[in-house]
Amino acid sequence: MKKIFITRKLLDKNFSYIKEKFKVVHNQDDKNFLDSDIIRLSSDCDGILTFPNNNFHTDLLKKLPSNIKIIANYAVGFGNIDIDTAKEKKIIVTNTPEVLTDATAEISILLLLGASRRAYEGRIYAENKSWEWSADFLIGKQMTNKKLGILGMGRIGRAVANIARGFGMEIHYHNRSKLSEKLENGAIFHERLEDLLRHSEFLSINCPGGKTNTNLINKDTLKYLPDGAVIANAARGEIINDEDMIQAIKNGKVFALGLDVYNGEPLIHEEYLKLKKLFLLPHLGSATTKTRIAMGERAINNLDQFLNKSNKPLDQVN
Ligand code: GLV
């Protein structure tokens, strides 16, 4: 039987499933391993099952033992793995697309609504028992019938669009390439990010992170948004320049911001924590039992396909 090093905890159902197929070095205590632990613990393994909070950077990948042939990431994003260095070392990297589309789209909509309708401030007033209904109490922005810009119209972006159509929103998008008419389903394509932003009363960020998209939302691009826009990021923290965003919230360019992901998470920029017009979640995009089980199965099936069936894994990304 081949052997897998699992860097963090798996849900019980996934843990039983992987043990049917592999010997494992596990981490059911969910310890935050150092690079040196990862190198040591993978010394007699054939593959690694890892998670978004383990960073397989260049140096770590270079030091991994040569018996490691595959790293299966338990996430759709793979910015935590330097896939070029992995490729140089002939290590296959896989992700878990499709299975978390709906859960993450739900969180994007929650962020837009939570921010625009001032859910965080509302909760504080409710807890402090210090509120009274009044005509101008905690006035927010309504999503219904507004223009929604979607940055990144992959599976998750399109699922956000589907939900937003129920709010009567006019959907605009920016993507590497224009989609087919069927996939667009009435959404309006903008080749340039600036043009998308001009049409984004509400903006949902659903593109991949990584080097190309780092700092995409910064002071030079924020200026194209209509005044008082609402933004949600359920993709990756690095897409937003935090300092520029904080300025835009303080000067009212951005009315409210919903975030599920952060630069340097689990840390969150101190200023974000002080601003009331923020609706913050701790990276919950895929956090439902159904989705997490499906992600685990997908990652395990990728390992199984490659190591036990000598086949190309379904979701190779490098
Ligand atoms: C979660 O953030 C993922 O990329 O799956």
User: Could you report the per-residue pLDDT of 115-130, keeping only the tens digit for each?
Assistant: 999 999 999 999 999 8
Burial of 10 (0-12, 13-18, 19+ CB in 10 A): buried
pLDDT tens-digit series, residues 207-216: 999 889 999 9
CATH number of 3-99+288-308: 3.40.50.720
Query: Ligand 1: does its nearest atom lie under 6 Å from the Cβ of 294?
Result: no
For the stretch 70-81, what's the b/e string if a residue is b when 16 or more beta carbons lie within 10 angstroms of its beta carbon? bbbbbbbbbbbb
Q: What is the mean pLDDT of residues 34-61?
A: 97
CA of 68 to the centre of ligand 1 (A): 23
Of 184, 194, 265, 297, which one is the catalytic site residue?
A: 265
The pTM score is: 0.96
Q: What separation in Å is there between the alpha carbon of 280 and the centre of ligand 1?
A: 17
79 ligand 1 Cβ < 6 A: no
Q: Which of 118, 155, 190, 283 is catalytic?
A: 283
Considering only residues 314 and 96, tell me which one the structure prediction assigns the higher pLDDT.
96
Provide the pLDDT confidence category of residue 72 given band limits of 50, 70 and 90.
very high
Model confidence at 312, in pLDDT bands (50, 70, 90)? confident
Task: Tell me the CA–centroid distance for residue 77 and ligand 1, in Å.
Answer: 5
Specify whether 265 is catalytic: yes
Q: Do domains 3-99+288-308 and 101-280 have the same CATH topology?
A: yes
Query: If you average pLDDT over residues 52-72, what whole number do you get?
Result: 97
Q: Where in the chain are the domains?
A: 3-99+288-308, 101-280
Residue-wise burial string across 157-189, b where 16 or more C-beta atoms lie within 10 A, e elsewhere: bbbbbebbeebebbbbbbbeeebeeeebeebee
For ligand 1, the distance from its centroid to the CA atom of residue 99, given in whole angstroms, is: 11
pLDDT value at 100 more than 90: yes
Q: Return the CATH number of 101-280, one of 3.40.640.10, 3.40.109.10, 3.40.50.720, 3.40.50.280.
A: 3.40.50.720
Q: What is each CA distance from 307 to 61, 68, 76, in whole angstroms?
A: 19, 11, 21
Please indicate whether residue 97, judged by its CB atom, sits closer than 6 Å to ligand 1: no
181 is known as an active-site residue: no
52 lines ligand 1 (CB under 6 A): yes
Query: Catalytic: 184?
Result: no
pLDDT tens across 136-187, in order?
Answer: 999 999 999 999 999 999 999 999 999 999 999 999 999 999 999 999 999 9
Q: Which of 228, 230, 26 lies closest to 112 in space, CA to CA?
A: 230
- Provide the pLDDT for residue 313: 85
95 CA closest ligand 1 atom index: 5
Determine if ligand 1 sits within 6 Å of the CB of residue 76. Answer: yes
Rg over CA atoms, the chain: 21
Q: Give pLDDT tens digits for 173-198.
A: 999 999 999 999 999 999 999 999 99
Q: Whose CA is nearest to atom 4 of ligand 1?
A: 77
The predicted model gives 232-259 an average pLDDT of 98
